[in-house]
Amino acid sequence: MTTGRDEAGHDQPRDEDAYALDPKAVAAILYAVDIDDRDKLVELMEPLHSADIADLLEQINPFDRARLIRLYDKEFDGDILSELDESVREEVISVLNPDVLAEAVREMESDDVVDLLEDLEEPQQETILDALEDSERIAAEQALSYPENSAGRLMQREVVMAPEHWSVGQAIDFMRANDDLPEQFYHVVLVDPRVKPVAQVTLGKLMAARREVPLIDLAEEEFHIIPVDQDEEDVAYAFNQYHLISAPVVDADGRLVGVITIDDAMVVLDEEHEEDILRLAGVGDESSLSDSVAATSRRRLPWLAVNLCTAICASLVISQFEAAIDQLVALAILMPIVASMGGNAGTQSLTVAVRALATRDLTNANVMRVIRRELLVGMLNGLCFAIVLGTVGMLWFDSPLLGVVIGVALVVNMIIAGFAGTVVPVLLDRLGIDPALASGTFVTTTTDVMGFFIFLGLASVVLL
């Protein structure tokens, strides 16, 4: 494997395709489906990781998807199902042979089953719950009783725990005797007699210690307990901030009910980022490439509708200066520049603020300093571009005064942009509204309206 990135920096062409699906392999698979050759299909799919199979299923069209799944039949397993994007899961489940589905679901870990169940409609949920064994079904139903997006939904219930007074030898003997250990675990959680977690020991430490050493002597310095109703976003933040690998989850009485591992936190972190980036662009936050035209169109309508209203507001502002434009068409030609520069500067400020709020770097301790900085940056960049744009305006329309007017309007609008770009997300955040969702509209409306108003207003007073 080679990488195109060099010593000098970030922007060299890179080998983006390091882990992309091989187009030839995809073509061969689709051909096997076309000619209905099950043996060939199974052979071709064999080297693929279940995550890659899920990606493949997402990328092909619904017709091929259904044919592939039917032909693949009983090779389809629980891992593929858990890797699939929500947007195609329902479709895949409805296509799957019910016996294959039941088998696949029984193989899954408890947290994956919950993750699958929570996005399904009632009848499909029932089908899957019915496929589970009794104990599993009760566990899944209990997990679903926790609030959506909470630690309770994210955790796995299989925990390796030991009484706090045990020695290393006792813990190792217990684990050797236990056939039902989780697939992956990284800590032994030490609990008191009421099953409250008191410490945890990494397997590495356990492994390196002599048998008679008390477990409690090996306890990790950092120990983070997560309440079962904590929001998954906070859980992901804690994992990222404190470099946790796994953390015990407790109920309202402080009793150990499960464990969350870093790979689950990583998935949440990824989803939160996706949500932020899509919300900032005014795209529904669960958009996916596999959505239909109708679904995509419906998801994007609301933000476009809001934008239409604000654009009409801006036009109403312009219409107040109809007479001025009638007298001097140059105003109509130049006015979009003032609005556009303000909009861009505002978007810069608000993106920085939204991101800093998400990472909790923007707090009471520094909010005034950040606002001051944004005002100064707006002024400084405004002045730079005012000189350029003023000169352009002056030469283009042969009017020094027009140059001054557009320059002043630009500086003022860019200061407003810096201010609105920071204050709007901070206020929304304080009001409990996700700043990524709504800031953009407020900020660009402000810079559009103010941009047109200041430029046209100033021009009316000074030039006409």
Residues 319-338 that bind a copy of itself (CB under 8 A): 319, 322, 325-326, 329, 332-337
Q: Which is nearer to a copy of itself, 131 or 454 (CB)?
A: 454
* 3-class secondary structure per residue, the chain: CCCCCCCCCCCCCCCHHHHCCCHHHHHHHHHHHHCCCHHHHHHHHCCCCHHHHHHHHHHCCHHHHHHHHHHHHHHCCHHHHHHCCHHHHHHHHHHCCHHHHHHHHHHCCHHHHHHHHHCCCHHHHHHHHHHCCHHHHHHHHHHHCCCCCEHHHHCECCCCEEECCCEHHHHHHHHHHCCCCCCCCCEEEEECCCCCEEEEEEHHHHHHCCCCCEHHHHCCCCCCCEECCCEHHHHHHHHHHHCCCEEEEECCCCCEEEEEEHHHHHHHHHHHHHHHHHHHCCCCCCCCCCCCHHHHHHHHHHHHHHHHHHHHHHHHHHHCCHHHHHHCCHHHHHHHHHHHHHHHHHHHHHHHHHHHHHCCCCCCCCHHHHHHHHHHHHHHHHHHHHHHHHHHHHHHHCCHHHHHHHHHHHHHHHHHHHHHHHHHHHHHHHCCCCHHHHHHHHHHHHHHHHHHHHHHHHHHHHHC
Residue numbers 47-106 binding a copy of itself by CB under 8 A: 49, 51-52, 55-56, 58-61
Least distance in angstroms from the C-beta of 98 to a copy of itself: 27
Which span sits near a copy of itself by CB under 8 A: 68-76, 90-98, 133-141, 200-208? 200-208
Helices 134-144 and 122-131 cross at an angle (nearest 10°) of 140
Q: Which is nearer to a copy of itself, 104 or 280 (CB)?
A: 280
Q: Name which position in 72, 185, 419, 442 contacts a copy of itself (CB under 8 A).
A: 185
Residue numbers 397-426 binding a copy of itself by CB under 8 A: none
| Interface mask toward a copy of itself for 345-384; x: CB under 8 A | x-xx-xxx--xxx--xxxxxxx--xx--x--xx--xx--x
Q: Name which position in 202, 214, 223, 394 contacts a copy of itself (CB under 8 A).
A: 202
Residue type for position 265 = A
Q: Which is nearer to a copy of itself, 131 or 445 (CB)?
A: 445
Q: Which is nearer to a copy of itself, 102 or 379 (CB)?
A: 379
Least distance in angstroms from the C-beta of 99 to a copy of itself: 24
Residue 389 sits in the site that holds a copy of itself (CB under 8 A): yes
Least distance in angstroms from the C-beta of 72 to a copy of itself: 17
Residue numbers 260-299 binding a copy of itself by CB under 8 A: 262-263, 265-267, 269-270, 273-278, 280-283, 285, 287, 289, 292-294, 296-297
Residue numbers 225-264 binding a copy of itself by CB under 8 A: 227, 229-231, 233-234, 237-243, 245, 262-263
Least distance in angstroms from the C-beta of 222 to a copy of itself: 7
Q: Name which position in 72, 76, 166, 303 contacts a copy of itself (CB under 8 A).
A: 303
Q: Which is nearer to a copy of itself, 20 or 401 (CB)?
A: 20
Residue numbers 419-458 binding a copy of itself by CB under 8 A: 429, 431-434, 437, 448, 452
Find residue 189's DSSP bridge partners: 161, 200
Residue numbers 96-155 binding a copy of itself by CB under 8 A: 147-150
Q: Which is nearer to a copy of itself, 41 or 370 (CB)?
A: 370
Q: Which is nearer to a copy of itself, 1 or 35 (CB)?
A: 1
Q: Which is nearer to a copy of itself, 131 or 264 (CB)?
A: 264
Q: Which residues contact 277 (CB under 8 A, 6 or more apart)?
A: none
Tokens encoding 147: 């609030």
Least distance in angstroms from the C-beta of 134 to a copy of itself: 25
How many residues belong to the site for a copy of itself (CB under 8 A)? 155
Q: Which is nearer to a copy of itself, 97 or 170 (CB)?
A: 170
Q: Which is nearer to a copy of itself, 311 or 408 (CB)?
A: 311
Residue for token pair 């079962």? 228
Question: If we measure between CA atoms, which residue out of 278, 284, 288, 277 comes closest to residue 300?
Answer: 284
